[in-house]
Each structure stands twice: as C-alpha cells, then as structure tokens.
Amino acid sequence: MSEPKPSPATAPDDHEPRPRNLFQRVYAAFESPGRRRALHVVILAVLVVTPWISSQYTTVILTNALLYVVLCLGLNIVVGYAGLLDLGYAAFFAVGAYTVSILTQQFGVNFWAAIPFALLAAALAGVIIGGPTLRLRSDYLAIVTLGFGEIVRFTARNLEITGGASGLSHIPEPSLFGWHIDSSIDFYYVFVVLAVVAYVASQRLFDSRLGRAWLYVRHDEDAAEAMGINRVATKLAAYVIGAIFGAIGGIFFSVNLGAISPESFSFQQSVMILLAVVLGGMGKIPGVILGAFIVVLGPELLRDFGTLRLLIFAVLLLLIMLFRPSGIWPEKRS
C-alpha cells in the first residue's frame, strides 16, 4: 500500500517563510553564503578600479564615504548591537585624531607608533564616560553622551596643545615600507582596507558570544541579567569597542586632511553618523554600509540643485523613513 501524498495544505514548502515584497526578495537573494561571497568580490573589484576610471573629485568623495563606513560600523556596535543611544560619538573620532596629531606634529613620534596611544586614549575615554553612565537608560544616557561630545569639543577649542579654535595643521603624512602615503588615491586605498577590516571585525563580533550577549541586553536587560549576563560590563564592552572604531577613523582622517579643528567633530557630525546607521538599518551590517554611502553621496549627487540640495535630500530621507521605518536594509527578525 503506497503512502498518501502530502496535500498542498501540509506540503513542507508551504511552511517555509517566503519574501512578501520586492525589498525582502532582494535581501533574501543575498542571504546564501555563495551569493554573499560573489557580491563581496564584485564590490572589492569595483572599489579597486574606481580611482583609475573616475575623477579625483569622485575619489575624494568616495574616500569620505569609506571613512563614514568605518565610523558607522563602530556606532552600529553601540546602537545596533547593544541598543545604546549615543549622541556624542564624534568625541571618540576627535580623541583619535587629536592624539595622533599631537604626538606626530608636536613630539615627533612616528605615525604608526602613535596609533596604539590613540586607541588607548579612546578606550580610556570610553571607560571613563561609560563606566558611571551606562547604568542609565534611554533618554538619560543620550543626554550624557551628548554632553560628553560637547565637552570634548570645547576642551579641544580651549587648550593650547590642541591648537585652540584654529586646530592643528601641517600634520605629517605617514609612510609604510618606503611608500609615502600622500595622494588622494593612496588615502583612498587606505580607507578601502580600513572599511574591509571594520566590516570583517563587525561580522565576527556579531557572530561571537559577546555579540549574542549584546543581543540579549538590547532586547531585555533584566532578563539578560537574570540569565547571568553582566549588563553593565557587556554594554561597556560595546562602548569601548565602538570608541576604538571611532578613533581609527579619526586617526586616518587627520593625516588625510593634514589639518583638524574642533568644528570637524561637532554635534552635527555625531548626528550624521547616527542618521546613517538608523537610515540603513540598525544592527544590519550591509544596511549600515548602505546608509553611510547614502548620507555622503546623496548631497553630492544633488549638487546641481544648488542651495536647494540639502532641502531635497532631507525630504528624500524623510520619505525613506516613512516608508521604511526600520531602515532600508533592516535586521531580519524571527
């Protein structure tokens, strides 16, 4: 006696979730490891050849976009992974930039030898501000981080060693094994490497045990603590790692421009980085990268509209958030 065939109502395929709209179909197309690897190869190939087939202006804008990728991936660890609202992220950006600039310009320290000190300074700043304040939640934490960002900026404006309001200039350019990094193409490739490293590090952190702890703390701190997770230490780890990402961006930002000032690390900078993370999709690495490119390239693509370009860009962002409130490429929810 043959076994009965499963009816359409009980067929196994009918129990599998299927993409419901165009966005979900596009996202699902890149969920398989093979397609992701192919996409990585294509993106890397495009990044490698772009400076040779485009203008110097395009190369500079893409370099700035790659800088934002590093910064946004760092803030995504704080906001997207651990669920902490940080409105002063530019402070760590400033700590990295000023530490390297002071050591190399005023004390003659080699650029590569100064990097560990800048990272240590950012991590220490993260511990100092995060240790006593990460017990706070939601709006209270946002206010404290906002204040921290402004304190760092005003401190840089009023100290002699930071150059005051004028900032620091003539920051020496780095060299590596005889390669003097000074042209726009050189720095473009440096930021390509930084963006790739930040992407790999973010993915490994997301898949790690610490990444799962961040997920639990983000969803329910009390339940996570009941499971044995030290919520303060877990959040502090996210804050310090995010600070290190921000410092790395600041380190290479300073030597790329050759000059920095306190206005480069204003509250507006923090808002733009946070905007890119929220716009792309908090917690989703491809979405955050996409958000970083949109925030940087959007105003440039609208430059033909003159003084109206920022207004048009703001309206477009508003429409995106109205129709995609979770971000362009949101984290997949079970």
CB–CB of 242/77 below 8 Å? Answer: yes
Is 238 contained in some domain? yes
Is 272 contained in some domain? no
Does the structure show a pLDDT above 60 at 19?
no
Residue 201: both structure tokens together: 């590090």
- What are the pLDDT digits (tens) for 283-306? 999 999 999 999 999 999 998 888
To the nearest whole percent, how much of the chain has pLDDT over 70?
A: 89
The total domain count for the chain is: 1
Is 315 contained in some domain? no
Is 313 contained in some domain? no
- What are the pLDDT digits (tens) for 46-75? 999 999 999 999 999 999 999 999 999 999
> Which has more confidence, 5 or 301?
301
> Which has more confidence, 33 or 249?
249
- What are the pLDDT digits (tens) for 131-170? 888 777 667 888 888 999 999 999 999 999 999 999 999 9
pLDDT at 334: 45
Residue 15: both structure tokens together: 């129990």
DSSP per-residue string spanning 224-273: HHHTT--HHHHHHHHHHHHHHHHHHHHHHHHHHHS-B-GGGG-HHHHHHH
Cα 5 vs. chain centroid, distance in angstroms? 52
DSSP per-residue string spanning 57-119: HHHHHHHHHHHHHHHHHHHHIIIIIS----S-THHHHHHHHHHHHHHHHHS---HHHHHHHHH
Cα 130 vs. chain centroid, distance in angstroms? 19
Is 172 contained in some domain? yes
* Parent domain of 110: 69-266
Does the structure show a pLDDT above 80 at 87?
yes
CB–CB of 287/327 below 8 Å? Answer: yes
CA-nearest of 175, 205, 209, 204 to 190 is 175
Is 25 contained in some domain? no
C-alpha to C-alpha distance for 164 and 146, rounded to whole angstroms: 21
Instruction: pLDDT band for 29, please (50, 70, 90 cuts).
Output: low
pLDDT at 134: 78
CA distances to 6, 72, 221, 274 from 78, in Å = 48, 10, 15, 10
Does the structure show a pLDDT above 90 at 92?
yes
Is 215 contained in some domain? yes
pLDDT at 1: 46
